[in-house]
Amino acid sequence: MSRTRHCSLHCFVPPYLLQQLALTVPEEADRWRRLLAIDEDLRLRRAQAPGVRRGVAVARGPAWVVHTAGTGTDLPGEVARRAGDPPSEDVAVEEAALGISGSLALFEEVYGRSSYDGAGATVSATVHFGKDYVNAFWDGTQLVFGDGDGRVFDRFTKPVDVLAHELTHAVTEHTAGFVYEGQPGALNESVSDVFASCLKQRLLGQTALAADWLIGAGLFLPGVRARGLRDMAAPGTAYNDPALGQDPQPAHLDAYLDTTDDNGGVHLNSGIPNRAFHLAAVAIGGSSWEGAGRVWFAALTGDHVTPRSDFAGFAAATVAAAAALGDVDVSAVEEAWAGVGVTPSVSAPTTRPAAPAADLLAATDRVVVRRSGGFAGQTSEAHVDLGADPRAGELRDLVGRIDLHRVAVSAPQPDRFVYDFDLCGDQATLCEQDLTDDLRRVADLVLP
């Protein structure tokens, strides 16, 4: 018997990108795997201290506080600057302050929302997390940013839209609460890109027509063939690099990627609603944050979406929001969704659950572990034959005392990993926060 579950936790770089680098730059594969291992360890610790959710009281105080981890991994780290303090000499601290304060201003001044929870919660952020850490995430209580590796990735605080993207995950968590799998998960990612782009364009004073619509421009270092991490106007064209590969995002529902990786392709298929927002913003005209942004925010916070709304359901919510606002061309919104192959309708929620672990290699004397998801949406898989392998003895002991069907299963969380286990024919799919110490040890032994 096998079970299928999803889990996740909000980060910025999809795991599939880091896994791609491990494959295409073999001389540096160990480094990329170590960075993925940092993510895994961090997420396991988060599982033991779950973050706040809707309806739960959060901290009050200054509008925001930026901490520094000093390249360590203890969170939140030391306070580096609070709202109202004089500027810091630390560039990452200042970039975080700019992005957070700008995001808060966008949500409050344009959409009337006080902080991510709607009640003035203090935003906590940490910079300089880990050594050569190539990620950014919202963990349910705070924002965290790495400095990059100095070879492919620059500081994750450098592009202001990265800050807004992560803070928007917090807003979504406290409003629509889209589950982090399949189409709802892709909407979760897309909404973060939407308001990240709105903030960037607002700070630059750009119209929707003049904007570049890139997410993460400046995140990659010179020499990397990449304009950004994603292109909302033309999904699938943000990068094409020997190490990174080609941007895999689809731009139309006809090209929807039905995959078990990355919680059903949440970082991949977000290109479809991203493109819809771009089309709507250009058609409505003016600024994206005052035009299409008001429509998307009203849909996100309204009564027409549920945590499991699919593309069609969210599209219907945006059409209803445009009609309710009264000063927006509803047909522009309808045509934008038509342009990506989505027909607005209140339909049964569509998710793309991970395939059961039965599709793993099956052998009576073999242990197989497959890990997918995380911030970059990447996948890693390996197996150990319990014969002459030096790991066999310890694995036999572990398999002998693990009962996969007695493992408690919790709800999915954004950007966390999903594990498929095949323990000599006994199979299950589990979220990383559900792993026991023995299962974590199995994963450590088997995966590279």
Just list the catalytic residues.
Answer: 166, 267
Question: In this structure, what are the phi and psi dihedrals at residue 113, rounded to the nearest 5 degrees?
Answer: -110, 130
Q: What is the 3-state secondary structure (H, E, C) of the chain?
A: CCCCCCCCCEECCCHHHHHHHHHHCHHHHHHHHHHHHHHHHHHHHHHHCCCCCCCCCCCCCCCEEEEECCCCCCCCCEEEEECCCCCCCCHHHHHHHHHHHHHHHHHHHHCCCCCCCCCCCCEEEEECCCCCCCCEEECCCCEEECCCCCCCECCCCCCHHHHHHHHHHHHHHCCCCCCCCHHHHHHHHHHHHHHHHHHHHHHHCCCCCCCCCEECCCCECCCCCECCCEECCCCCCCEEECCCEECCCCCCHHHCCCCCCHHHHHHHHCHHHHHHHHHHHHHHCCCCCCCHHHHHHHHHHCCCCCCCCCHHHHHHHHHHHHHHHCCCCHHHHHHHHHCCCCCCCCCCCCCCCCCCHHHCCCCCCEEEEEEEECCECEEEEEEEECCCCCCHHHHHHHHHHCCHHHCCCCCCCCCCEEEEEEECCEEEEEEHHHCCHHHHHHHHHHCC
DSSP code for 354: P
Q: Does residue 46 sit in helix, strand or coil?
A: helix
CA distance 300 to 385: 49
45's CB contacts (< 8 A; 6+ apart) are: none
Helices 182-204 and 311-325: angle between axes, nearest 10 degrees:
40
Show the tokens assigned to 37.
């291992």
Q: How many CA atoms lie within 13 A of 28 on its CB side?
A: 13
